Structure 1
Amino acid sequence: MLTGGVATRLLVSLSGVDAGSLEHCASVADELDRLRVPLSLLVNPLPEQSAVGWVRFRRSTGDALVLNGFGRSPVFVPQQRRARRKPSLPAHEAGLRLIATVASLEVRGLVTDCFALLDETVSLGTMTALRRHGFTVCADANGVHDLKTGTHWRGRVRRIGQRAEFAMIPRRAELVRITVDAADLARHPYRWALFDAVEDALRDGAIPGTYAEVRVPPLRRASGHGPRSSPR
């Protein structure tokens, strides 16, 4: 899958990791390892201590750590309503929130320069605050921003799980973005849907990576996938 001669990137993210979902998260991560597909771990500013060790381990294997918003529980906004919402958080308020959320992560030994708010469009004020506080990547509902160069890669999020909406991935999208909540991994139909979506993207030639790597030109990984049955 090429867009203007540039390979499409596949970004798979996982949010909501906690003690109750760790076993399922580990199982899914192992299967994605077999497919050579890394995860972007969307971590809240106050992650459960039981999950911190696993997140650190997964980061050491090549997964990315991404700050998932400002710490308030995300509100799911249907696709058709997102386009009508105007992001308005000013830079000063966003900066104050960032100071608190970054401190919460750092006391747990977690540091990142990637930020995500996948259910909304991030305001210009938020992006200004992110730059000021050393963040280099910002992902929102419509794409991913390189905060150093101003480059914007287009690609809406395809959500897998009980909050999912049917979303076709454009064949010429710059990014194929798939996200799932850890709580949904316990339900086999959602696991199957996740693996099916990932394998479809791989068969179309998408190059797997993470949000932390999106600023770097993609390098095709050694093939780790081929004809197979989804793990069920």
Structure 2
Amino acid sequence: MVIHASVEPLEWESTFFNIHSGIIHFSDSAAPLTVAQLTCWSRVQAKIDAADTARLSALQTLGFQVVEAEMDFVLSVDLPPGGQSEPLPIAREHDIPALRTLAETLFTHSRFGTPWYAPGESGRFYGQWVENAVRGTFDDVCLLAYDATGLISGFVTLRRLPGNQARVGLLGGKGAGAVLMALAQGWCRQQKIAGLHVATQFGNLPALRRYVLSGAQPVGTAYWLYR
């Protein structure tokens, strides 16, 4: 199989990791992808449908390796008629230090981990992600769960998508999954959003179980590959 694609720069990631990074953009109108196009990049990412075995094989021929497999879910959110809703525990600027520490502890294994990135970079990346979410950059909001002592025990970040949909950016916390999914649905109801999307790694069995128990339905599987 010949892959028709271009490589588009990932400017934010290139700056953050100090690694010249791009991502494959597949298009039938693009020229065939060649090794020569790829060698000028320090890191090239590709995301494909897990069922697309022909494209998977062709990318591996070009030197790509599978880094992570993920499953995507969507949860239908019931939108009740009018009425007042409960206020949600939205993270504020003063919560950022605690959230960064929690994120750096929770997200130590990801596609931004070793051997592709230096040790500790995964936690640093997701620490920055949650900080950006609190400030409304990329994700729109960060909601909090608390333990019995009043300390932050988990968080979920969300962003609005076109078509009356939303997506979970990050969701993490020890024993707080059910609470965080309920908060995410509460935010969707406040925003009149009918569908909540969330993805997780194949290997993250607790998250897979949580999303199914919350009523989410699997809608897709994908591979991330790096070169």
TM-score, with structure 1 as normaliser: 0.29
Larger Rg: 2
Structure with a larger share of its residues in strand: 2
